[in-house]
Amino acid sequence: MTKSDILPPAAEKTAHKAVVHGDTLLDNYFWMRLSDDQKNAAKPDAQTQKVLDYLNAENAYREKMMAHTDSFQNRLFEEIKGRIKQTDMSVPYKENGYFYLTRYEEGKEYPIHSRKKENLEASEEIMLNVNDLAKGHEYYAIGGRSVSPDNNIIAYGEDIVSRRQYTVRFKELSTGKMLPDVIPNTTGGVVWANDNKTVFYTKKDAALRSYQIYKHLLGTPVKADQLVFHEKDETFSTFIYKSKSKKYLIIGSAATLSQEYQVLEADNPDGKFRMFQPRERKLEFDISHYGDKWYIRTNKDEAQNFKIMVTPENATTKDNWKDLMPYDKAIFIEGIDLFKDHMVISERKEGITQLRIRPWDGKNEHYIEFGEESYTTGTGINPDFETDLLRLDYTSLTTPNTTYDYNVKTKKLTQLKQQEVIGTFNAAEYASERKMVKAQDGTMVPLSIVYKKGFKKDGTQPVLLYGYGSYGYSTDPYFSSARLSLLDRGFGFAIAHIRGGQEMGRQWYEDGKFLKKKNTFTDFIDCGDYLVKEGYAAKDKLFAEGGSAGGLLMGAVMNMRPDLWRGIIAGVPFVDVVNTMLDESIPLTTGEFDEWGNPKDKTYYDYMMSYSPYDNVEAKSYPPTLVTTGYWDSQVQYWEPAKWVAKLREMKTDKNPLLMYCNMDTGHGGASGRFRALRETAMEYAFMLDLAGLGERLNLLGFISDLYYM
């Protein structure tokens, strides 16, 4: 059988019309959408079965079309898996008299969470063996582990569907007994009051927005739990946590451009939370407590890149806030961590993450030096105020994830652990570069590149360009042992630090959202053109990948410059922008009006329509594309990529492969477990390597020939 004998699924076309701002929107694949009730029904109805049949047909088609790579995928999977140290352990950290650690055992998918009392030579107490808990489940994830102040009870959330709706359970650590308290539909964690019996938790509404804080007393019926706070504004989500000082319980409400906090002494769980500072549009801040003061990271007083202020413990409104250090617009402040003798400030300058040590006495302020030009660093778990040691994490494109303790007085870095890459890996065999690419409007966009030494910059090599560029999320240089399977076969890998993230500060984010969103797409295209122009990538071997909002990026650049890409991988792609943002019942929609705009406003509607991938599919040639999704995805519902694939098949004029993989057991994050997810990575790598002529058997390059009829 040749590839031309394998026919793709023919998605039924059923006209669905909606009128918006006088426009009639025709959506022939609207029928693919299912409600949660339909998906969760014990027995599928006719509509549900119709959708399941279509998704299964797409999966079967992909399997047939990629069948010639099956052995290669298996080899890639074993290769990637073989680099992982299977019996492994995290660096322990000490809190409240115990050392806590997470470890893995040979061949096991899930972690074991345990602890040792007072010292690391003490006997191990296994708190949760997730391998046991996951038995019988196709998907299993633990969230929000927290131990009571008296060290006797662990609370944890479990998700067995991959919708990020967690059921909280409680385990008595002294006996191993599970308590009868079971709390459904939470965000995963609880926050303990200091009495060891009262917990606070967050519930989700029908759209999966975190909207209510409840109080539960162990041993009492969950149905009797007291509602403490209800966030009624649908553009805000709520959460609760305890201050590092353990003195305060803190309820937060957050939208993209505004935050609000309420506080209560953790010794008084039955008291009433009091307002810290009422929400104001465009006033952003977060709070940390130490001693008799609150420390505030905020954009107050037009401090766009944020500054640090301080206020007395019992005078918390913004009129009491005082500058702790002068505002520097060249430095973007991402966070702070407080200690007895000093503060640690997580900063970003010229796109590079840095850690500044600022002693309270004002002497010997300094930055931690790492000796690399391009890297990523951040503070780790630091529960103790009374220490001169800072736990931090470090990585780069060539340096595996590394955990250090840094002595702030001696300025000595002590390596505690570096991710071990099993096999012949030698960091010295790889090189990375950081370039600044001139965008269409003259803006200089950072581009990080890594390759194995010997990589020829002569316009003959394959390169994978990765991007995200939304929500102010910065995609920093990071190490991936899986990525070595590309680099060792001659691929280069690049990260485009495009607008929409915050790599270059808050303005970088502002310039890639709302009515400036297209900067994200043109920046990525400019980075792709640069890689070809400067000889890093062959003009017929440049690949692109992005997921979620990065999948939107893929859809947009495919429409704008389909000729630039040899292949595209779009993971859980947010491609049906207008329809999704018009539907406030869909999870995340209302909270994202400050990211994309509200299409009920014609200005934003018109702008979204100009770039929404689904709405801009045209009758033209598109590059080979692999689309991945999850049936239970709560962030980008499966029907967005499914509809997009169906419309691309209907419209495109080429014979290039268009494949979709829908994991029927998982959601936005893909498969659970250490190794299952690697199967999907191997599939994606096989797709690209085969297109680049680097597959297992070069005589099977019919995969990219005109034998494909889509």
Angle between helices 518-533 and 602-611 (to 10 degrees): 20
Using CA atoms, how far apart are residues 694 and 701, in angstroms rounded to an integer?
Answer: 9
* Average pLDDT for 25-34: 94
Using CA atoms, how far apart are residues 165 and 184, in angstroms rounded to an integer?
Answer: 8
* Maximum distance among all Cα pairs of the chain, rounded to whole angstroms: 77
Q: Is 548 a catalytic residue?
A: yes
Tell me, what's the pLDDT at 634? 77
Contacts of 213 (CB under 8 A, 6+ apart): 200, 201, 202, 203, 227, 228, 229, 230, 238, 240, 251
Q: Are 108 and 81 in contact (CB under 8 A)?
A: no
Q: Is 396 a catalytic residue?
A: no
Helix (H) or strand (E) holding 158: strand 153-159
Using CA atoms, how far apart are residues 223 and 7, in angstroms rounded to an integer?
Answer: 53
Helix (H, G, I), strand (E, B) or coil at 124: strand
Per-residue CA distances from 75 to 107, 201, 391, 424, 686 (Å)? 17, 45, 37, 17, 10
- The distance from CA 299 to its chain's CA centroid, rounded to whole angstroms, is 24
- The distance from CA 420 to its chain's CA centroid, rounded to whole angstroms, is 23
Helix (H, G, I), strand (E, B) or coil at 423: coil
pTM of the model: 0.91
pLDDT digits (tens, 9 = 90+) for 615-644: 999 999 999 999 999 998 777 889 999 999
Query: Does 655 have pLDDT greater than 60?
Result: yes
End-to-end CA separation in angstroms for the chain: 16
Tokens of 581: 């943002």
Query: Does 707 have pLDDT greater than 70?
Result: no
Using CA atoms, how far apart are residues 67 and 46, in angstroms rounded to an integer?
Answer: 31
CB-side exposure of 700: number of CA atoms within 13 Å? Answer: 17
Using CA atoms, how far apart are residues 233 and 157, in angstroms rounded to an integer?
Answer: 26
Using CA atoms, how far apart are residues 161 and 169, in angstroms rounded to an integer?
Answer: 16
372: left (phi over 0), alpha (psi -120 to 50) or beta: beta
pLDDT digits (tens, 9 = 90+) for 497-538: 999 999 999 999 999 999 999 999 999 999 999 999 999 999
* Average pLDDT for 147-162: 93
| Residue of 633, 634, 672, 690 with catalytic role | 633
Q: Are 258 and 279 in contact (CB under 8 A)?
A: yes
pLDDT category at 441 given cuts 50, 70, 90 is: very high
Query: Does 39 have pLDDT greater than 50?
Result: yes
pLDDT category at 699 given cuts 50, 70, 90 is: very low
Phi/psi at 131 (nearest 5 deg)?
A: -60, -40
Tell me, what's the pLDDT at 668? 63
pLDDT digits (tens, 9 = 90+) for 93-135: 999 999 999 999 998 889 999 999 999 999 999 999 999 999 9
Closest CA to 339 of 288, 301, 374: 288
Tokens of 330: 């060249």
Closest CA to 637 of 596, 676, 555, 581: 581
pLDDT digits (tens, 9 = 90+) for 251-301: 999 998 899 999 999 999 999 999 999 999 999 999 999 999 999 999 999
CB-side exposure of 119: number of CA atoms within 13 Å? Answer: 2
Tell me, what's the pLDDT at 672? 63
Work out the percent of the chain whose per-residue pLDDT is above 90: 83
- The distance from CA 699 to its chain's CA centroid, rounded to whole angstroms, is 38
Tell me, what's the pLDDT at 705? 35
* Average pLDDT for 559-585: 95
Q: Is 114 a catalytic residue?
A: no
Query: Does 703 have pLDDT greater than 60?
Result: no
* Average pLDDT for 470-474: 95
Using CA atoms, how far apart are residues 418 and 401, in angstroms rounded to an integer?
Answer: 6
| Residue of 68, 216, 497, 668 with catalytic role | 668
Q: Are 376 and 395 in contact (CB under 8 A)?
A: yes
Please classify residue 91 by burial: count the beta carbons closer than 10 Å to its beta carbon, then call 0-12 exposed, 13-18 middle and 19+ buried.
middle
Using CA atoms, how far apart are residues 630 and 130, in angstroms rounded to an integer?
Answer: 22
Q: Are 331 and 347 in contact (CB under 8 A)?
A: yes
Closest CA to 126 of 109, 143, 163, 101: 101
Q: Are 356 and 345 in contact (CB under 8 A)?
A: yes
431-453 burial, b at 16+ Cβ within 10 Å, e below that, comes to ebbbbebebeeebebbbbbbbbe
Tokens of 470: 């939304």
Q: Are 681 and 485 in contact (CB under 8 A)?
A: no
Using CA atoms, how far apart are residues 587 and 166, in angstroms rounded to an integer?
Answer: 15
* Average of per-residue pLDDT values in the chain: 93
Q: Are 490 and 455 in contact (CB under 8 A)?
A: yes
| Residue of 480, 481, 548, 634 with catalytic role | 548
Angle between helices 70-82 and 676-691 (to 10 degrees): 120
Using CA atoms, how far apart are residues 671 and 665, in angstroms rounded to an integer?
Answer: 8
306: left (phi over 0), alpha (psi -120 to 50) or beta: left
Query: Does 645 have pLDDT greater than 70?
Result: yes
Tokens of 123: 């006997």
146-171 burial, b at 16+ Cβ within 10 Å, e below that, comes to bbbeebebbbbbbbbbbbbbbebbbb
- The distance from CA 185 to its chain's CA centroid, rounded to whole angstroms, is 21
351: left (phi over 0), alpha (psi -120 to 50) or beta: left
Angle between helices 46-65 and 639-651 (to 10 degrees): 60
pLDDT category at 670 given cuts 50, 70, 90 is: low
* Average pLDDT for 459-471: 97
Using CA atoms, how far apart are residues 158 and 143, in angstroms rounded to an integer?
Answer: 6
Cβ atoms < 10 Å from Cβ of 357: 20
Under DSSP, the state recorded for 515 is G
Phi/psi at 551 (nearest 5 deg)?
A: -70, -35
Specify which residues 311 forms β-bridges with: 294
Tell me, what's the pLDDT at 671? 66
